[in-house]
Amino acid sequence: MSSKLAELNAWVAHYADLTGADRVHWCDGSEEESARLVELMLGSGDLIALNPQTHPNCFLHRSSVSDVARVEHLTFVCTANRDDAGPNNHWMDPEQAKAKMAALYKGCMKGRTLYVVPYCMGPIDSPLARCGVEITDSPYVVANMRLMTRMGAAALARIEREGTFVKGVHSTGDLNPDRRFIMHFPEELGIQSFGSGYGGNALLGKKCHALRIASWQARQEGWLAEHMLILGVENPQGETHYIAAAFPSACGKTNLAMLIPPQGYREAGWKIWTVGDDICWMRPGADGRLYAINPEAGYFGVAPGTSAKTNPNALAMLTHDAIFTNVAVTADNQPWWEGLPDGTPVADWQGRAFDPANGPAAHPNSRFTVSARQCPSYTPMAEDPQGVPLSAIVFGGRRESLVPLVFEARDWTHGVLVGAGMASETTAAATGAVGVVRRDSMAMKPFAGYNFGDYFAHWLSFDKPGAKLPKIFHVNWFRKNAGGKFLWPGFGDNMRVLEWMIKRVKNEVPGHATAIGILPGEGELNRDGLNIDAADLQALLHVDTHAWRTEVGAIADYLEEFGERTPAALFEELDKTARQLV
C-alpha cells in the first residue's frame, strides 16, 4: 500500500472506531454496487420504486419532516482567525468545533455501515478537478454522490497519485435538529456534517466542497469556485461562445442553463448547450482566457415549477434513472409536483393521503437527482479536461424596478463591483413583505468559504497584463410596469439578450454608454417574433438617475460591512458611477 493510501486508510480507521460502525464498505462506483445499494434501500424503505413503465429505474425518497433544506444558521466556517471567515459566514473556533463534532460522532454508527466514498469534482483527468473522500452512514447519500460526482475506483486512483483530497465526514445521526451542524475547516480541507440527510447538508461534494472549501482552495491556487451555471451558445456559423452566470434563488438559473431558443432562432440554426446548472470552477489558461469546468456530474434540482412550459429539457431527463426526494405520487405511482399540468397526487411528500389542507402535495424544496448526460442539451464539452473558454460572465437578480433588462460593465473592475452589489427583492409569497432588497454578492452569500472583502480582492486580482478576461454583464428578467405586469417574457426569449451579449463580445454592435454601464442601443436587440411594444422595451432599458444615486449609496453601505478588507478599488468604482449619475 502506498503511503498516500495509508494516510487515507488511517483516517477511515479512526472514524470507524470513533463512530462504532459495524462494517466499512469502500465504494467502487460500479453498476453492481449500485444495484445492491438500491435493493438494500428498497428493503429498508429508504427508497420506494416508482412506476417501472413510465419511470424505469426511478425511485422516491422521503426524508424526515424536519430535514428538508440547507440549514445556513447551523453551517459554520471554522478558521483560526475569525476575520478570515468574515461577517458573511457563521464562525466557530476550529478546536471547539472539532470537540463538538467528536462528541456527536462517538458511537453514532453503531449498527450501521460506514461507506467510504472517493469522488472527483470535475472530469477525472482534468487539471482543474479536485478530489475528496466522504465518509457517510447513508446509502441514500452514496446513491446521490454516484450521480452527482465522478465516484469510485477512478477517483481513488487519482487520490493515490496526488495524495491531496478534501476529507468529509457525515452521519445522519438521529436527525435531531438540535444536534445538527455542518462544519467547514478550509485551512485543513475538511468538512464535518452531522444530523441531516438532506442533499445540501449531506452530499458533501456539492455546496460544502465545491463552493465553501473550493473557494478557499481557489484563492490559494489562483482560480475561482463560483455558484454559476455554464452554457454554450452556438450561432448559425457554428461558433460556440460559453457563458457563466450567477443568480440568487428564484431567478431562473436552471431554466437559463437549459434554455430552448425561440422558433425563429432554432430555424436559423442557433443552439444552446448545457455544461452545468449550478457550479463553475474557472482558471486562467495559457492564452490569458478564463477556462471553466462544471465540477458536478449531475443535477440536484428543485422539482416544483419544472414543467414542459418552464423547462422542457429538465423534464425530459426525468423519465428514467432518477432519484426523487419529497415529491408526491399519483395513483399509478408516478412522481408529481406542483407545476405539472397532468396527473393527480394521491399521496403527498410525507406519504399521507393528499389533502390540500395540509399544504402542497410536493414539498416546495423537493428535488430530483439525475446524471447530466440525460439532459437533451448536454454537451460532451462538459467532460473536456481543459474546460471551456468563457466569453462572458453574467450576474443577475430579481428587481421589479431600477435595474434594466441588461447592461455591460465598463471593465473588469466595474464588473466585480456589479457582482459584489447584486441583489434580489423578496416577494410577498416568500416573506410577507414585497421589495425588500437582499444583497447576495455573486450569488455566493451562503457559499463563500472566507471573508467577502478578501473574496472581492481575489476577483480583482485576475485583471493583470496578458489577461483576456470575459466581458461582464448584469441582467434582470423581472422588471414590471406600473400595473405589476412583467415587461419581459423571459424563458426562451432570454436568447435575445444572450445574442446581444455575444455581439458585444465580438464588437459587432456599439451599445449605448450610460452611467451604470453599456446598454443595448436602438435596434440592437432582436425583436423578430417578439410580442413587446416599443414603450415597454424603452421602460426595460431605462436608467432612473435619481433611483440609481440611492442604489449607489446602499451598495456603499453594504461594502462597508466587510471593513478594511473591502478593496478600495470598489469604492473608487462606485464614486465613478456616482459622478456620472447627473
Do the beta carbons of residue 311 and residue 253 sit within 8 Å? no
Q: DSSP H helical segments within 304-425, as ranges?
A: 312-316, 412-420
Is 199 annotated as contributing to ligand binding?
yes
Is 247 annotated as contributing to ligand binding?
no
251 is catalytic: yes
Is 439 annotated as contributing to ligand binding?
no
Beta bridge partners of 370: 299, 322
Is 441 annotated as contributing to ligand binding?
no
Is 277 annotated as contributing to ligand binding?
no
Q: How many CA atoms lie within 13 A of 351 on its CB side?
A: 11
Among residues 184, 205, 190, 169, the alpha carbon closest in space to that of 281 is found at 205
Residue-wise burial string across 380-392, b where 16 or more C-beta atoms lie within 10 A, e elsewhere: ebbbeeebbbbbb
Using the structure block, give the residue that is written with the C-alpha cell 453514532: 108
Q: DSSP H helical segments within 408-506, as ranges?
A: 412-420, 428-431, 452-460, 495-505
User: Where do the DSSP E strands lie in 210-351?
Assistant: 224-226, 229-234, 240-246, 271-276, 280-284, 290-293, 298-302, 322-325, 328-330, 335-336, 345-347
Is 339 annotated as contributing to ligand binding?
no
Is 278 annotated as contributing to ligand binding?
yes
Is 365 annotated as contributing to ligand binding?
yes
Question: Residue 117 phi/psi, 5° resolution?
Answer: -115, 95
For 126, the grid coordinates are 482534468
Is 200 annotated as contributing to ligand binding?
yes
* Cα distance between residue 416 and residue 573, in whole Å: 10
Other residues' Cβ atoms within 10 Å of the Cβ of residue 378: 18
Is 9 annotated as contributing to ligand binding?
no
Is 88 annotated as contributing to ligand binding?
no
Q: What torsion, rounded to 10 degrees, do the Cα atoms 535, 539, 545, 551 define? A: 170
Is 252 annotated as contributing to ligand binding?
yes
CA 549 from centroid of its chain's CA atoms: 32
Q: Catalytic residue among 27, 58, 131, 251, which?
A: 251
Pairing of strands 345-347, 113-121: unpaired
Is 251 annotated as contributing to ligand binding?
yes
For 139, the grid coordinates are 446509502
Contact partners, residue 15, CB within 8 Å, separation at least 6 = 21, 105, 114, 135, 169
Pairing of strands 290-293, 388-396: antiparallel
- Which helix (H) or strand (E) segment holds residue 544: the answer is none
Is 34 annotated as contributing to ligand binding?
no
Pairing of strands 271-276, 345-347: unpaired
Is 249 annotated as contributing to ligand binding?
yes
- Angle, CA 310 vertex, CA 308 and CA 311 arms, to 5°: 65
Is 30 annotated as contributing to ligand binding?
no
* Cα distance between residue 46 and residue 187, in whole Å: 35
Is 366 annotated as contributing to ligand binding?
yes
Positions at the binding site for GTP: 250-255, 367, 398, 491-494
Instruction: Pick out the residues of the known binding site for Mn(2+).
Output: 207, 227, 278
Q: Which residues are annotated as a binding site?
A: 70, 198-200, 207, 227, 249-255, 278, 365-367, 398, 491-494
Catalytically annotated residues? 251
Annotated binding site for substrate: 70, 198-200, 249, 365-367
